[in-house]
Structure 1
Amino acid sequence: MRRILGIAAMTAALLAPAVTVPAQAQQPGVAAVQRVEWLSDRRVALWVFSPAMNTPIQVQMLLARDWNLRPEAKFPMLLMLDGLRAQDDENGWTKDADAEVFYADKNVNVVLPVGGQSSFYSDWLEPNNGHTYKWETFLTEELPPVLERDWRTTDVRGVQGLSMGGTAAMNLAGRNPGLMKYVASYSGLLTTTTLGMPQAIEFAVRDAGGFDSSAMWGPPGGPEWDAHDPYLLADKLRDVSMYVSSGSGLAGSHDQAGEVPLLSENWAGTGLEILSRLSTQNFVTKLEQLEIPVQANYRPSGTHTWPYWDFEMRQSWTQAASALGTDPAGAACASDGAIGSLAQAAAWLGGCVTTEYPVADGVVQDFRNGRVFHSATAGTHAVTGRIGGTYAGMGGPTSALGMPTGGEHPLPDGRGRMQTFEGGSIYWTPQTGAQVLRGAFLEEWGKQGFEGGPAGYPVAAEARTPSRDGAVQSFEHATMFYSPTTGAHRVEGFILDRYAQLGFENSPLGFPVSSEAPLKDLGRFSRFEGGAIYWSPLSGAWSVRNGPLADAWGAQGFENGRLGYPVSDEFAVPGGIQQNFQTGFIVVREGESEVHGV
């Protein structure tokens, strides 16, 4: 049964935004978070404005194991860089590898920049292929202060990457001494200026996305190529804990065998891994000459593909944890009592990652794939996935939603899912995301048929109206407005468009006082504090404001009278105002109305 709260709950406190965007986001030239989307209770997507690139950059974070358990704690940062074919929707470490599950019980903030195809995470000399790449500036100067200020991240940092990202990891550490405590390259190209390597890089960036490497570092042999060669930067890495690895190019356990014995059918993956192996060996030889320690792992097989990089991520963790000053093992924990019983029945939660700890009027325990809450009054319920992310972003049980009162479950339309809480509900669909509904909005939406009603699913969080005491929430097919005196009402379609053109609740119409209703000839209308908006297919949508003009039109029978529907808003004429209708017009001068038929 769905829980609907009374209007009193709405007037008590309006729903706060999931995350307060720092004031710096509104200042030109300042790096700051502009948008936040919680993907789970410990995975969040941030859109961070980069002054250097003059655009917001998506950065996803896998929050530390104890993020919820110790809300005042800060955690070291592990930056994970993608490969040459990085996509704009998600970093490969979560899209093509299993970083999210692996780091679920690790006490480090994993930072995953999204995008940067073929960029080598460098500051390019020139714009190219529609991009202005200034990735090094973003990752070393702009992003770290934002994460330290707003996202509980310390200045203890590590960086690791695969292929292009492995090259970039070494370059970021070597070009910015003291920035990184740890660096790892998996199948990276660690000599970029040796014979044939610039040409190989040019072919790769052009093949991956149509980029020109001369826009990145200039012509081969130029100073920027030398400045971005890990081999030539080796002496700058003396105080950094290093891990490097590469396969041999021979077919391994994750490869499909080709026609040639010992080789994979993935010819490109074979060739790239051989290049990586040769360059990594040369790099390690240089480090040995400089007496700089490095953990090097040359695998007897393996091609340039994700399963091998996922393996190296796991193998290198102990060294990364030591360098970053965090424990390499997960927390010792067990589940018992009511939480343990639920967790045992819900194997999809995975293992626990924390012990039970107090929250609000109950207790909670974190698992790999969600959290389980228990209180004497609300019961024991798991909160996971996108619904769990939205709940966490609001503040969890300390927010207006309070504790969960039921489990997540599918809705009758087969499209959405929902979960109830003490102070409202969260609804989710793939198209709309997870959105909170509560108070008067939830009550009115429920009266209209919930997700099966005319408004459809919510598509945004409730927000305060900027200039008047009220709130607004958007749905798939309508918008609801609320004020303490008018309640919550739906405005939709062409009437909503006209209301927007007039200025919403800041217009003379004010807040709506009823939801849209039908009229003759397929017409519709909505009433507001200061008047109404009428629409029909032949006349369009127009407002009629309260007063003598509306009274005169009403005396004629409104849209059913001889004047028909309005075809304009009221406008000024000498000595008064006028409004036009389908078959006439009304003029008001000095409070007196004149009705003119055509």
Structure 2
Amino acid sequence: MIRTPSLKALVAAVAALAVGTAVAPLAPANAAPGTTAEIVVHSASMNRDIPVTVLLPKNRAKPAGVFYLLNGAGGGEDNANWQGKTDVVKFFANKNAYVVIPNQGAFSYYADWIKRDEKLGVNKWSTFLGKELPAAINGKYSTNGRNAIAGISSSATSVLNLAIAHRGLYRTVAAYSGCAATSTQPGQDYIRLVVETRGGADARNMWGPYNGPLWRQNDPLVNAAKLRGVSLYLSAATGLPGQYDNPQAVSKPAVLADQVVVGGVIEAATRQCTDQLASKLAALHIPATYDRVPAGTHSWRYWQDQLHKSWPQIARGIGA
């Protein structure tokens, strides 16, 4: 049986981890196929410029689908991002898809916040990801109108909410090691650990008073019926040490200890969350692919594996 880690354990784990749309190109728009472009997309809703990495398709002679790939709690603003921690650039070099990775949004849950936050400022990430960024990408590149999105950890919650908020935008959604529940007490505790403990912000500026109606409105578990029609891929491990949790895979003892202890606690929590979502979807007769990984922690090598494993399903959805 997988037990929910105590709030005390999660606090300790997260504290340990704390150790008008326009596009401005930073690389030539006609860069060679299979390469990476760094662009800046202006968000009118947040009045700020957002740096975005775009992995270009191998064959740019015809329109291609778009795969939006979100970083975790740090928003890619730290060194914990897809480009630095995985083989994402190499993996997609021979794929016919635009892979779009926003490099901001730390501790925001990629949501539209109802109030400006003293620490994080104005957050309208759902508007940016659901409207402003797709409009910019479709205006700049030759896309086929088919989109998918994936996220890890906290952003695995976000991608489910984005699919619900922007019905029909994403054909496929992949959530790796996430927690769909946001209105339960454990769900709110997890969010507060990210937003408040790590981010130094106030989660009430996101969805109002704790236990308030907006927490239920932004709960993908409560609103799972609204995911009908979306091709869903879910994954989570148990938190038990797996193939990447050993000295051969992680050479630094302190990093390995954090990965096993901290990452194990967090992954065990996301496993229970993902089990709950899978059960709810099954009860609603909504199909979903669910990879129940028998061992593994809340860490990048496992998410790299999940990106590879989920890609065939994502590729079918966007015509890649």
User: What TM-score do the two structures reach when normalised by structure 2?
Assistant: 0.86
Confirm whether residue 106 of structure 1 aligns to residue 100 of structure 2: no
More helix by share: 2
Report the equivalent of 1:122.
Answer: 111
Shift of 1:202: 0.5
Shift of 1:38: 4.8
Q: Secondary structure at the match of 2:26?
A: strand
Confirm whether residue 244 of structure 1 aligns to residue 234 of structure 2: yes
Shift of 1:53: 0.4
CA contact (8 A) 1:61 1:112 kept: yes
Report the equivalent of 1:190.
Answer: 180
Report the equivalent of 2:50.
Answer: 57
Query: What does 1:285-324 correspond to in 2, within 5 Å?
Result: 285-324=279-318
Report the equivalent of 2:250.
Answer: none
Letter in 2 for 1:113: P
Letter in 2 for 1:306: W
CA contact (8 A) 1:85 1:208 kept: no
Letter in 1 for 2:302: Y
Shift of 1:194: 2.0
Shift of 1:207: 2.9
Report the equivalent of 2:39.
Answer: 46
After superposition, give the CA deviation of every residue in 1:59-91 in whole Å (9 maximum; x if it has no partner): 110011102xx1xx2211000011012233777
CA contact (8 A) 1:163 1:189 kept: yes
CA contact (8 A) 2:120 2:201 kept: no
- For residues 97 and 259 of structure 2, the distance between their equivalents in structure 1, rounded to whole angstroms, comes to 38
CA contact (8 A) 1:175 1:236 kept: no
- For residues 169 and 276 of structure 1, the distance between their equivalents in structure 2, rounded to whole angstroms, comes to 15
Letter in 1 for 2:38: A
- For residues 77 and 122 of structure 2, the distance between their equivalents in structure 1, rounded to whole angstroms, comes to 15
- For residues 187 and 130 of structure 1, the distance between their equivalents in structure 2, rounded to whole angstroms, comes to 24
Q: Secondary structure at the match of 1:105?
A: coil
After superposition, give the CA deviation of every residue in 1:304-346 in whole Å (9 maximum; x if it has no partner): 00000000000011111111122xxxxxxxxxxxxxxxxxxxx
- For residues 193 and 275 of structure 1, the distance between their equivalents in structure 2, rounded to whole angstroms, comes to 15
Letter in 2 for 1:246: A
Letter in 2 for 1:307: R
Shift of 1:299: 0.7
CA contact (8 A) 1:82 1:162 kept: yes
Q: Secondary structure at the match of 1:301?
A: coil
Report the equivalent of 1:500.
Answer: none
Q: Secondary structure at the match of 1:109?
A: strand
Change over 3 Å in CA distance of 1:277–1:89 after alignment to 2:
closer
Change over 3 Å in CA distance of 1:131–1:256 after alignment to 2:
farther
- For residues 110 and 143 of structure 2, the distance between their equivalents in structure 1, rounded to whole angstroms, comes to 21
CA contact (8 A) 2:76 2:102 kept: no
CA contact (8 A) 2:155 2:178 kept: yes
After superposition, give the CA deviation of every residue in 1:489-547 in whole Å (9 maximum; x if it has no partner): xxxxxxxxxxxxxxxxxxxxxxxxxxxxxxxxxxxxxxxxxxxxxxxxxxxxxxxxxxx
Change over 3 Å in CA distance of 1:55–1:264 after alignment to 2:
closer
- For residues 139 and 112 of structure 1, the distance between their equivalents in structure 2, rounded to whole angstroms, comes to 11
- For residues 185 and 133 of structure 1, the distance between their equivalents in structure 2, rounded to whole angstroms, comes to 22
Query: What does 1:362-377 correspond to in 2, within 5 Å?
Result: none
- For residues 150 and 120 of structure 2, the distance between their equivalents in structure 1, rounded to whole angstroms, comes to 27
CA contact (8 A) 1:44 1:60 kept: yes
Q: Which has the larger radius of gyration?
A: 1
Shift of 1:130: 4.0
- For residues 189 and 225 of structure 1, the distance between their equivalents in structure 2, rounded to whole angstroms, comes to 14
CA contact (8 A) 1:91 1:115 kept: no
Letter in 1 for 2:50: I
* Root mean square deviation, CA, Å: 2.0
Structure 1: tracts of 5 or more residues without a match? 1-29, 327-598
Shift of 1:123: 0.6
- For residues 59 and 137 of structure 1, the distance between their equivalents in structure 2, rounded to whole angstroms, comes to 16
Report the equivalent of 1:282.
Answer: 276
Confirm whether residue 271 of structure 1 aligns to residue 260 of structure 2: no
- For residues 250 and 38 of structure 1, the distance between their equivalents in structure 2, rounded to whole angstroms, comes to 45
Query: What does 1:541-560 correspond to in 2, within 5 Å?
Result: none
Q: Secondary structure at the match of 1:37?
A: coil
Shift of 1:204: 2.1
- For residues 21 and 187 of structure 2, the distance between their equivalents in structure 1, rounded to whole angstroms, comes to 35
Report the equivalent of 1:350.
Answer: none
Letter in 2 for 1:267: V
Shift of 1:164: 1.2
- For residues 186 and 157 of structure 2, the distance between their equivalents in structure 1, rounded to whole angstroms, comes to 16
CA contact (8 A) 2:64 2:319 kept: no
Shift of 1:219: 1.9
Shift of 1:146: 1.5
- For residues 50 and 113 of structure 2, the distance between their equivalents in structure 1, rounded to whole angstroms, comes to 16
More strand by share: 1
Confirm whether residue 174 of structure 1 aligns to residue 164 of structure 2: yes
Change over 3 Å in CA distance of 1:106–1:265 after alignment to 2:
closer
- For residues 93 and 310 of structure 1, the distance between their equivalents in structure 2, rounded to whole angstroms, comes to 8
- For residues 57 and 103 of structure 1, the distance between their equivalents in structure 2, rounded to whole angstroms, comes to 22
Shift of 1:177: 1.2
Report the equivalent of 1:92.
Answer: 81
Q: Secondary structure at the match of 1:104?
A: coil
Report the equivalent of 1:472.
Answer: none
CA contact (8 A) 2:114 2:206 kept: yes
After superposition, give the CA deviation of every residue in 1:230-259 in whole Å (9 maximum; x if it has no partner): 1022111111110000010000111148x9
User: Which of 206, 211, 216 is 2:206 aligned to?
Assistant: 216
Change over 3 Å in CA distance of 1:175–1:47 after alignment to 2:
same
Q: Secondary structure at the match of 2:92?
A: helix
After superposition, give the CA deviation of every residue in 1:432-477 in whole Å (9 maximum; x if it has no partner): xxxxxxxxxxxxxxxxxxxxxxxxxxxxxxxxxxxxxxxxxxxxxx
Q: Secondary structure at the match of 2:170?
A: coil
Report the equivalent of 2:14.
Answer: none
Shift of 1:131: 2.2
Confirm whether residue 80 of structure 1 aligns to residue 73 of structure 2: no
Q: Secondary structure at the match of 2:147?
A: strand
